[in-house]
Amino acid sequence: MLPLIRAPFRRFLGFDVRTGILLLVGFGLVRVALVLHANVTGSYQLVSIVFVAVAVLPWVVLTHAGRRKIGIVRPSRGRWLLPGAIVGATMLLAVFAATTALWGRTVQNPFAYIARTYSQMPDSPSDADRLTFFVVYAVIGMLFSPIGEELLYRGIAHESLASQLGDRGAALVDAGAFAVTHLAHFGIVHVAGAWAFLPLPALLWVVAMFVSSLVFYAFRVLTGSVLGAIVAHAAFNLAMNVVIFYGVLA
C-alpha cells in the first residue's frame, strides 16, 4: 500500500479520529479568533492567510496517494458540477429570504450584519464603485474560503474521521465543526462597540451552515471529487455577495 502521509509528518499525523479532531479544533479556534478580530477592524488579511495555509496543507503533508484519498482528483461525474453550483446558490438565496422575512435588514439578519463588516465600502457608492467592490469581494469569497475549507472539512479532516466513524459519522462531525466556526461570522456580533450573542438568529444561521455543509459533501460524493464541494461552496459565497451588494447595501 502506498504511503498517504509524507515521512516527516507520519509520527504526528495519520488518517484517524485524533488527527481529524486536531485539525478541526486547531483550525476552528484560530479562524474564530481572527474573524472576530476582523469583524472589529474590517481587515480580513490574516483570515485569508489562514485559508491559504489550509489549502496548501495537503501538498505539504500528504503524498500523491494521500491527496487522491481526500478527493483531489478529476471529477468522475463532472455532470454534477453545474447542479452543485445551482444548489449552492439556491441554498444561500433561501437563507437570505428566510432571515430577511424574519428580521428585515436589522443586525439580527446575518447578511445585514456581515455587510457591516465590509468597512471599506463607501456609504453611498456609485454604480461603478459598487461593481468594483462586488467583484473584489466575490472573487475573494469564491477562492479563499471554498478551497481552503473544502480541502479541510470535506477533505483531510473528513477522511481522517471516516477511518473510524464512517462517511456518515464523519460528515456529521465536520458539518458540526463547520457550522460552529461560522458563529464568528454571525451570532456573536460586535455592535456599537460591544459584543453580544443573538440566540435565535444564531441558531438559524448555525442550522443553515450545518445543512449547507452536508450539501457540499453530497456534491463531493456525486462528482467523485472534492471539486464538487468547492464549486457548490463557491456558488454559495457568490450568491452571498450578490445579496449583500445588490440587496442589503442597495
Grid coordinates representing 26 are: 486547531
Of 183, 192, 182, which Cα lies nearest the Cα of 40?
Answer: 192
Find where cell 437563507 sits: 95
Find where cell 457550522 sits: 179
pLDDT value at position 44?
83
Query: How confident is the model over 85-125, as pLDDT tens digits?
Result: 999 999 999 999 999 999 999 999 999 999 988 867 777 77
Q: Could you list the residue range(s) of the whole structural domain that residue 115 is in?
A: 7-248
Q: Is 195 helix (H, G, I), strand (E, B) or coil?
A: strand
Domain count along the chain? 1
Indicate the DSSP class of residue 74.
-
Of 122, 145, 118, which Cα lies nearest the Cα of 38?
Answer: 118
Beta carbons of 58 and 72 less than 8 angstroms apart: yes
Residue 2 lies in a domain: no
Query: How confident is the model over 207-231, as pLDDT tens digits?
Result: 999 999 999 999 999 999 999 999 9
**Who wins on pLDDT, 2 or 247?**
247
Half-sphere exposure of 180 (CA within 13 A, CB side): 12
Residue 139 lies in a domain: yes
Measured from the Cβ of residue 111, the count of other Cβ atoms closer than 10 Å reads 22
Residue 1 lies in a domain: no
Query: How confident is the model over 19-31, as pLDDT tens digits?
Result: 999 999 999 999 9
Could you write out the DSSP letters of every residue in 134-152? HHHHHHHHHHHHHHHHHHI
DSSP E strands in the chain: the ranges are: 188-191, 194-197
CA pair distance 64, 41, nearest whole angstrom: 40
pLDDT value at position 245?
93
Residue 98 lies in a domain: yes
CA pair distance 191, 28, nearest whole angstrom: 23
Residue 122 lies in a domain: yes
Query: How confident is the model over 156-197, as pLDDT tens digits?
Result: 999 999 999 999 999 999 999 999 999 999 999 999 889 999
Predicted TM-score (pTM) of this structure: 0.95
pLDDT value at position 100?
97
pLDDT value at position 89?
98
Q: For residue 42, is pLDDT > 90?
A: no
Residue 175 lies in a domain: yes
Q: For the CA atoms of 155, 160, 165, 169, what is the dihedral angle to 10 degrees?
A: -20
Measured from the Cβ of residue 32, the count of other Cβ atoms closer than 10 Å reads 17
Q: Cα 243 vs. chain centroid, distance in angstroms? A: 17
CA pair distance 114, 92, nearest whole angstrom: 14
Grid coordinates representing 123 are: 456609504
Residue 37 lies in a domain: yes
Of 88, 94, 81, 80, which Cα lies nearest the Cα of 233?
Answer: 88
